[in-house]
Structure formats: C-alpha cells, structure tokens
Amino acid sequence: MNKEIKKNISAIQFWGLIKWSLTRNKYLIPAFCLIQVILAFAIVYGFALMNPVIDYQSSVYMASGALVLGIIAVGCVLAPQIISDSRQNGILAYQRTLPVSRVSIILADVIIWSIAAIPGIVMSCLAGIIRFDIEVNVNIISIVIILICLISMILIGFGVAYFFPPNATSLCTQVIMIGALLFSPITYPADRLPDWVLKIHDFLPFVAASDLIRASVFDLQEIYVSDLIVILLWATIAFVTSLKIVSKKE
C-alpha cells in the first residue's frame, strides 16, 4: 500500500513539473514552433534555389535535412539557451529544493521540448511532400527513430547547457547549428566533403541522425546499427552529465 501511495505521489509531482514547465514557457513554445515552420520551408525552398537541377536524391536530402536541422535547432540550440537562462535566473536552484527526483526534473523538460519540436517535424515532412512530391514513410520504425533522434538531441543540448557556463553555451550552440547547416552532409551527399571531415562526423551524432531519418522516413538507404549506437552513446553521456550537475549540491 505504501508503495502505491509513493508511486501516486511521484506521478503527481512529475505531472506538476510538466505543468510548471509548460506555464513557464507558454509564450516561448509557440514562438519556437513558428521558427521551426519557417526554418523547414526556408531549407526546402531556399536550398532548392541553389541547385538548378534537382534529382530524387537531392530532393530527399533537402527534405530530410529540413527535418533533422529542425530537430537540432530545438534540441541543441533553443533548448540549451533556455536551460542556461534558467540556471542564471535561479530556476535550477529552486528545482533542487523541490521534493522530486533529479531524473524527473530532466525528463519533464525533455517532454516539454519534445512537444515543442512536433510542429516542426510535421511541417518539414509536409514541405518536402509539397515541394518535391516525395513519399514519406510513416510507420512504427520511422516514428521510433524520429523520437530517438529528437530525445537524443535534446539531451545533448541539456548536457551543453548544464556543463558549460552561459556565454560558452551560447557559443557552442551556434557552432553546432552552423556546423550542421553548412559543414555536415545533412542537406547534401557526403561525397562533397573531404575525407577527414567525414571521419570526424563518424564520431558525432548529427550525421548519424540524418542517416537514420533518411533511411526510415524517406527510404533512401539502409538503417545502420552503428548510427544508432553513436546517437545513443552521445545521449547517454549527455544525460549522465546533466543528471550529475543537477544532483550536485551547491
């Protein structure tokens, strides 16, 4: 009986954290959704202007790239900046005083940012369908892979926000976005980059996420377990780092 009461209390506390996060970010989340929609159409339509001849492979790269870059923008750019501001404003210090588990604090924010990313994911798929008339696979495997990539990027963003000071966090998020947008084979094939750059990307989660999404959602290539391992490894490291810092007593 006591275990059931504790479970009910934990569930109520967790739901309270989610409601509090939603209330705290109620004006930011709609703005972020709008930014994702604009970004998706900008990538799909803007990048198409740079390519006079667009074949099927190029169209899939741009459509899948819009989806992946939207996820990266939410998880590794917007989320860590808001988390960093929360640390500065004393919100993290206040959360540490609450009678909730530190894991719940992180998971509540993961859920909020996952919800914020959904409109961008949907609009990225719609933009690709409208602009390039390509097929999108919506099945259990593609949904699970999108969720894995999304949650992993959010956790990586949290790791950046909790590990680095605010100024360094802002710089790091911009480097991630610029690198993903221009210097990663996300919106274009890998053969356009030097071999040494590709070797670096073999150990980073961003290209791995784009490969998985292209394989599952757009059926352009096979799903490689190595890509999944890279993403899950980065997500695990980021989660452990965040949990350690959130649990740290000041």
From CA 30, how far away is CA 177, in angstroms rounded? Answer: 21
From CA 22, how far away is CA 35, in angstroms rounded? Answer: 18
**pLDDT greater at residue 3 or residue 98:** 98
Question: What's the pLDDT band for 161 if we cut at 50, 70, 90?
Answer: very high
**Mean pLDDT calculated for residue range 180-202:** 88
Q: What is the DSSP letter of 78?
A: I
Question: What's the pLDDT band for 5 if we cut at 50, 70, 90?
Answer: low
Q: Residue 200 corresponds to which amino acid?
A: I
Query: In this structure, what token pair is assigned to residue 40?
Result: 């998706």
**pLDDT greater at residue 155 or residue 56:** 155
Give the count of alpha carbons within 13 A of 62, CB side only. Answer: 26
Q: Check residue 132 and give its pLDDT.
A: 84
Query: For the chain, what percent of residues have pLDDT higher than 70?
Result: 94
The H or E element that residue 125 is part of is helix 102-132
Q: Check residue 2 and give its pLDDT.
A: 60
**Mean pLDDT calculated for residue range 195-223:** 90
Reference 157, options 78, 45, 92, 240; nearest CA is 78
Which range of residues forms the domain containing residue 227?
Answer: 2-247
**pLDDT greater at residue 97 or residue 163:** 163
pLDDT digits (tens, 9 = 90+) for 119-139: 888 888 888 888 888 888 889
Count of the separate structural domains present in the chain = 1
Reference 73, options 120, 127, 31, 30; nearest CA is 120
Q: Which residues contact 242 (CB under 8 A, 6 or more apart)?
A: 106, 155, 158, 159, 162, 163
From CA 243, how far away is CA 84, in angstroms rounded? Answer: 15
**Mean pLDDT calculated for residue range 163-176:** 91
Q: Check residue 1 and give its pLDDT.
A: 46
Q: Check residue 27 and give its pLDDT.
A: 78
Q: Check residue 173 and give its pLDDT.
A: 93
Record the pTM. Answer: 0.90
CA angle in degrees (0–180, nearest 5) for 22-74-163: 90
